[in-house]
Amino acid sequence: MILQSIVIQKGIIMKAIVYSILIGLFFTACTSSGVNSAGGGEIYTYKGMNFGSNRTASFKRGVMDGCDTAAGDYRKDHVAFNVDQNYRMGWGDGRLQCYDINKEKDR
């Protein structure tokens, strides 16, 4: 009788574990991957590189200036860089991504 009770309890525990795993996998499959492809706004690409969606005009200007800098033509609006976070982020992202692309071309 005790052995049968232990076997039943183990069966219940195993079912609970299996159900927990299945529920966890179900909810994991339904979550976003971080890529917003539906209704997330216009994706901004420059020179074939994706810089994300819903970017401001100052971010885009920063990307262009940063890319020019990475190509050897230094451009930076120092006032905007110091006071506008979007321009600063765009400049840094543009310089970094375009630098990587230019580096690959040189190989």
Q: Classify 6 in phi/psi space as left (phi over 0), alpha (psi -120 to 50) or beta.
A: alpha
- Distances in Å between the alpha carbon of 26 and those of 23, 31, 32? 5, 9, 13
pLDDT tens, residue by residue, 54-99: 999 999 999 999 999 999 999 999 999 999 999 999 999 999 998 8
Whether pTM > 0.85 for this model: the answer is: no
